Amino acid sequence: MPKKFKCILYRIRIVWRYFGVSLLRLSILSRKAYVTNLLRVHRLKFRLQYWRKRHGLKLATISMLAVVTSSVFLLPFLQRLAGGFFNNPESLAALRSLLGGTGTALLGATTIAFSLIVFAMQTNVERMPHGLFRQLSSDSKLLSSFLVSFIIAIVVAGTSLIPDGSWGVPALVIAAWGIVITLLLFLFAYRRALQLINPIEQLAIMSKVARSDLRRWGRLADKAAILLQEAPQRNASGVPVDLPFNAPKDTFFKSNDSWSVSAAQAINYAISYAKRFADQGDYEVTDEAFTCIMLINSSYCAAKHGTFVASNPFVKTPGVTDGFINTSLEQLRQTMQAALARGDEQLAGSTLRAIGGLYGVYLQIEYSGGGSSKHHALLASGYLSSAVESVIPHNMPDLMMEGIRLMGRASRFSLEHAPPTEIVGVVNKIATLSHVGMLKTSHQPVTLTAFEQLAETTYDLLIKGKGDIGYPVRQLRAAVTQAATGFLTTPDTQLASTHQSTLGPYFSSTSFTSLRGKLTALVNELLTVPENSATAAEIVGNIETWANQIYDPHKSLFLLAVEKRSSFIFDTIQWAAGISELLNTLSHSPACSDHLREKLRRHAVWLISTLTWVPDDREAVSFVENYSLTESFFEAAVSGRKRDCEEFYECCKEHLIAWANKGGKHQNGREILEHSIKGLVALAIWEGTPHAVASLKIQLRNMLAREGAPSMELRADAAINLTRSANQLRRYEGYGAINHALAQQDQGAVRALLLKMADILAGEPARQ
């Protein structure tokens, strides 16, 4: 092929590639532009629908008034155009007859239409409670539309009494608008009747009336309190308080004890709707009924603001209990029992969500008397816990999982409005409910959900906890330990460990959504926060409180995992090393004080030391080493060295040489001895000082001289392997952090120190 032809082909190929890339980019840009514009159109459509829903009636009314006003201004023009036509007596008589007949027809149509509408509406709502039936049957909007239509019909009929032809055009305009408005009123009445038939609309009307009544009573009570104001204001115990007890307002409510009767009746109606429509399978109405209960309770608490009395654990204070709140919770408890009795899981789930919603409402209550305890919210949490517990005999794991999620959400929401100690009861109940998965294999997801909530509650407690969180932290840690200990007694699976997957939300080191994953992100964020941040300092203090004595329960879980030969041992090893690393990292945050820095590093030392409690038997040692305990000690030491935590670093080296002694003396522990020495060699070379090398030699000789050291046979085998590794000068690029570290170091120094370690292993322990 000629060279010139090849150049032409090459240029064509270059041009084709350029245009191909350009066309591809153009196609991508056009698709992006199309999708962007489509999303904008949908966003605009949703906004218009939302605006029309809120202001559509106003716009229609304004438009109608504008058209009517325009027709009034057009009357002179129409009068000049067609006014002379009605000067003829025959035309005037025909107009009068037309107007009279039209008015009569409108009267008849109004009567018939509204009779049918009201009859159909009453037929559809006759099965509702009597009080609500009476209220909806006399709906003011429906009756007003009938009255206006009737008046318009009379007006249209009255236009037939015009005295002469000059009134013809105005009469026709009035009649035309009368017909149009009457038809619009018919349409409005029809749609209003459909709304009144709709059970969701009925609940909305009932809720609106009840809440309006509560707000009216609240305003009356506030005005009465102004007239009856006393000074100084005191609570029921006679003690001055920061949030004063509104005694005049409380007196007004007690004098008018029927002020909440309509609201209580509305609660009963809502419960009736929830049960009836649940029987029919219409759970949307059921959820709406429970929403109405929450809204009514919210209005009730707002109306009673200033009259709630704080509880005292030592003295029985009058006025603490509230009958309306107790009735609401009791109604939901009975609904829960009825739902479980007939196996209605959806109704039971809606009831649990309703109790959880009331918990959130009651958390907003402010108490007089200086007490910060939200005892009404605690009462609701007790009802929620009991309701979830009552599900256990009914074999509904999905419902239990939803209930536990609601309990966890409630405890986390409580941290924003109540003292941290008030989550203890809910947390303990979640831990208790987690045992269901231990008894029934089909309920293991319940245990998984429980640990998810315990992990999320722990994290939220660390970032939201105010004041001294020592007690709730200890209780939460005990609850986690109790639940994990119980679950580790169940059989584990080999391929996909149920112990690891179920306890993973709290103990996993491989998931970003686990507790350790969230803490890692939190610690990284705290490293960038300025020193004067009070929030960051509080979070650091909370983490230190949580880490205090964390080694004790972790040691028990570690030993239990070894005893049960559970794959969960991997998580316990990685969790101890990972949390220790986080504590050391956190000690370098700008918001960490010197006092907290010392404590955090001490907690890290104690936590990593839990991994040294491996039972001194061959099976346990072999089992633990299968999950890379040697590598974990080495990685922890490297991490401590990088973060200038010398005490932690030296502690990890001591644990590594102690592990070499414990594991290396067993027949199957030769690799542990060899691998541990390699790790110590890598650390000594990394330090880069003659003292580090000399110290390693002394430590190894001392270890070999102690009672219970590896036998000469095992030491000789390990020495042979070390010598072979050193003489071959191979690069340690195999699996593991130790081999990788050796591969990155000076190979001459590595070879020399490995040979020296082999000589020490093969010779006498005390030989210099």
**Cis peptide leading into residue 232 (ω within 30°):** yes
Q: What is the pLDDT of residue 189?
A: 82
Q: What is the pLDDT of residue 24?
A: 66
* CB 600 within 8 Å of CB 592: yes
Task: Give the lowest-confidence range in 240-254, 367-381, 596-610, 734-748.
Answer: 240-254
Q: Is the confidence at residue 42, as pLDDT, over 90?
A: no
Task: Give the lowest-confidence range in 214-223, 521-530, 533-542, 665-674.
Answer: 665-674
Q: What is the pLDDT of residue 536?
A: 93
Task: Give the lowest-confidence range in 64-78, 115-129, 495-509, 571-585.
Answer: 115-129
For CA atoms 192, 193, 195, 196, the dihedral sign is positive
Determine the Cα angle at 654 with ends 653 and 659, to 5°. Answer: 95
With CA atoms as reference, report the closest residue to 424 among 436, 437, 415: 415
pLDDT band at 382 (very low <50, low <70, confident <90, very high): very high
The token pair that represents 526 in the structure block: 């705290």
Number of Cβ within a 10 Å radius of residue 398: 13
Q: Is the confidence at residue 231, as pLDDT, over 50?
A: no
Calculate mean pLDDT across residues 507-520.
93
Q: What is the pLDDT of residue 361?
A: 95
With CA atoms as reference, report the closest residue to 293 among 167, 218, 422, 203: 203
With CA atoms as reference, report the closest residue to 357 among 405, 428, 406, 400: 406
* CB 210 within 8 Å of CB 266: yes
Q: Is the confidence at residue 21, as pLDDT, over 60?
A: no
Q: What is the pLDDT of residue 59?
A: 77
The token pair that represents 131 in the structure block: 């009080």
Determine the Cα angle at 712 with ends 707 and 715, to 5°. Answer: 100
Q: CA 554 to CA 360: how far, in whole Å? A: 34
């036998």: which residue's tokens? 711
Q: CA 78 to CA 170: how far, in whole Å? A: 9
For CA atoms 225, 228, 230, 236, the dihedral sign is negative
Q: Is the confidence at residue 240, as pLDDT, over 50?
A: no
Q: What is the pLDDT of residue 765?
A: 43
With CA atoms as reference, report the closest residue to 754 among 691, 696, 688, 672: 696
Q: What is the 3-state secondary structure (H, E, C) of 689-739?
A: CHHHHHHHHHHHHHHHHCCCCCCHHHHHHHHHHHHHHHHHCCCCCCCCHHH
With CA atoms as reference, report the closest residue to 480 among 374, 390, 408, 541: 408
Please state, in angstroms and as integers, the Cα–Cα distance from residue 441 to each residue in 400, 480, 481, 498, 735, following that order: 14, 20, 20, 10, 37
Which residues lie below 8 Å from residue 455, measured CB to CB, with a gap of 6+? 505, 506, 514, 515, 518
Q: CA 143 to CA 103: how far, in whole Å? A: 20
Query: Per-residue pLDDT tens for 331-355?
Result: 999 999 999 999 999 999 999 999 9
Q: Which of 125-134, 279-288, 670-679 has the largest mean confidence?
A: 279-288
Q: Is the confidence at residue 181, as pLDDT, over 90?
A: no
Calculate mean pLDDT across residues 95-117.
81
With CA atoms as reference, report the closest residue to 678 among 731, 729, 634: 634
Q: CA 631 to CA 627: how far, in whole Å? A: 9
pLDDT band at 288 (very low <50, low <70, confident <90, very high): very high
Please state, in angstroms and as integers, the Cα–Cα distance from residue 436 to each residue in 444, 448, 479, following that order: 7, 11, 15
Of 430 and 255, more confident: 430
Q: What is the pLDDT of residue 188?
A: 84
Number of Cβ within a 10 Å radius of residue 284: 12
Query: Per-residue pLDDT tens for 472-491?
Result: 999 999 999 999 999 999 98
Q: Which of 49-58, 495-504, 512-521, 737-746 has the largest mean confidence?
A: 512-521
* CB 158 within 8 Å of CB 103: yes
Calculate mean pLDDT across residues 294-317.
84
Task: Give the lowest-confidence range in 101-115, 297-311, 479-493.
Answer: 101-115
* CB 750 within 8 Å of CB 742: yes
Q: Which residues are 234's β-sheet partners?
A: 240
Taking each helix axis from N to C end, the angle separating 130-137 and 261-279, rounded to the nearest 10 degrees, works out to 100
Q: What is the pLDDT of residue 331?
A: 95
Q: Is the confidence at residue 519, as pLDDT, over 80?
A: yes
Q: Which residues are 309's β-sheet partners?
A: 368
Residues in the chain: 768
Calculate mean pLDDT across residues 493-507.
89
Helix and strand element counts for the chain (H, E)? 32, 0
pLDDT band at 7 (very low <50, low <70, confident <90, very high): low
Of 613 and 99, more confident: 613
Q: Is 750 exposed, middle or buried (0-12, 13-18, 19+ CB in 10 A)?
A: buried
Please state, in angstroms and as integers, the Cα–Cα distance from residue 109 to each residue in 113, 157, 183, 186, 189, following that order: 6, 13, 10, 10, 13
Calculate mean pLDDT across residues 635-650.
93
Q: Is the confidence at residue 370, as pLDDT, over 60?
A: no
pLDDT band at 766 (very low <50, low <70, confident <90, very high): very low
Calculate mean pLDDT across residues 608-621.
92
Q: What is the pLDDT of residue 754?
A: 86
What does the mean pLDDT of the chain come to? 85
Query: Per-residue pLDDT tens for 246-261?
Result: 788 888 888 888 899 9
* CB 661 within 8 Å of CB 703: yes
SS3 309: strand
Please state whether 48 falls in left (phi above 0), alpha (psi between -120 and 50) or beta: alpha
CA–centroid distance for 682 within its chain:
46
Query: Per-residue pLDDT tens for 685-723?
Result: 998 888 988 998 898 888 888 887 888 888 888 888 888
Calculate mean pLDDT across residues 1-6.
54
Q: CA 312 to CA 291: how far, in whole Å? A: 32
Q: Is the confidence at residue 75, as pLDDT, over 80?
A: no
Q: CA 158 to CA 295: how far, in whole Å? A: 49
Number of Cβ within a 10 Å radius of residue 297: 24
With CA atoms as reference, report the closest residue to 335 among 318, 314, 358, 319: 358
Task: Give the lowest-confidence range in 35-39, 206-210, 524-528, 615-619.
Answer: 35-39
For CA atoms 453, 459, 460, 465, the dihedral sign is positive
Q: CA 477 to CA 459: how far, in whole Å? A: 12
Task: Give the lowest-confidence range in 135-144, 166-175, 702-711.
Answer: 135-144
* CB 531 within 8 Å of CB 602: no
Please name the amino acid found at residue 145: S
Q: What is the pLDDT of residue 501?
A: 92
Q: CA 710 to CA 761: how far, in whole Å? A: 10
* CB 528 within 8 Å of CB 603: no
Q: What is the pLDDT of residue 356?
A: 95
